[in-house]
Amino acid sequence: MGVRISECRAADTPRERMLTMGAPALSDAELLAVYLNNDIAAARQVLETNGPLHILTQLRPDELATLPGMSAARACQVLAGLEIATRNMEASLARGEVMTDPQMAGQYFVQRLRGHRCEVFAAVFMDTRHRLIQYEELFRGTVDGAEVHPREVVRRALEHNAAAVIVGHNHPSGNSDPSAADRAVTARLKQALALVDIRLLDHFVIGDGQPVSMASKGWL
């Protein structure tokens, strides 16, 4: 039988750990248990049987509500928390923060793309100071891939009057290793954008682990 949060010593509950140590100190199961407000064992069971936390947060509210220990209200709480985090990052960027830090840019694409059931290719369009102008999901595909058209990326960059672009796509398999096709499309994008004097700063591949930066690998 699972141990309910209310039956644990206060200092051991995920809620108390969050208050004293901060949310990053909590495991995925502990974070989910805070939302569920019941027991840690149930949270672990949900993660083990239904996928990692980032997969759960990509479910529709009605799908999430059917999982053990969940309800419509709890499902909405989980998804609202994720949306708050995404909007907070966007608000920071809207205030003029630049996207030249690979870690910040990578995490932005993680929040946007991780957990999609099909492959999604997206772009961040930036001004001359590398501040966010617009984020757009440009191409969607199957589980195995999305066809990318460099001409369309260039067209959208020109419409936004962008000076630089960062692109990213997810691998639904969870494997974030860039494929030969990923590297080839990166080269074509860089060449196409350069023809209109727009820089391609990076291409991120999003899987289950840390995002992979093509620029950091020296492939751009």
Residue 4 lies in a domain: no
DSSP character string of 114-168: TT-SS-EEEEEEE-TT-BEEEEEEEEE--SS-----HHHHHHHHHHTT-SEEEEE
Asked if pLDDT for residue 30 goes beyond 60, the answer is: yes
Between 57 and 75, the more confident residue is: 75
Residue carrying structure tokens 């860039």:
178
Percent of the chain with pLDDT over 90: 36
- Around Cβ 168, how many Cβ atoms within 10 Å? 26
pLDDT at 205 over 60: yes
What is the pTM (predicted TM-score) of this model?
A: 0.69
Over residues 58-115, the pLDDT tens digits come to 778 888 888 877 888 888 888 887 777 777 766 666 555 667 778 888 988 988 888 7
What CATH code is carried by the domain that includes residue 110?
3.40.140.10
Q: Give me the number of domains the chain comprises.
A: 2
d(CA 93, CA 107): 13
Per-residue model confidence (pLDDT) at position 216: 92
Domain co-membership, 125 together with 184: yes
Per-residue pLDDT, 8: 47
Identify whether 1 is part of a domain.
no
Residue 5 has pLDDT above 50, yes or no: no
Residue 94 lies in a domain: no
Long-range contacts of 4-12 (CB under 8 A, 24+ apart): 4/38, 4/39, 5/33, 5/37, 5/38, 5/39, 5/40
**Both 197 and 114 in a single domain?**
yes
User: Residue 96: its pLDDT value, please?
Assistant: 57
On whether residue 50 sits in a domain, the answer given is yes
Q: In this structure, are 136 and 176 located in the same domain?
A: yes
Please say whether the beta carbons of 192 and 160 come within 8 A. no
Task: Tell me: do 124 and 164 sit in the same domain.
Answer: yes
Domain residue limits at 60? 10-88
Which pLDDT band, with edges at 50, 70 and 90, does 7 fall under? very low
Which whole number is the average pLDDT over 5-20? 66
153-178, pLDDT tens digit by residue?
999 999 999 999 999 999 988 899 99
Q: b/e for 83-94, b at 16 or more Cβ within 10 A? A: eeeeeebeeebe
Q: How far apart are CA 191 and CA 187, in angstroms?
A: 6
* Amino acid at site 71: S
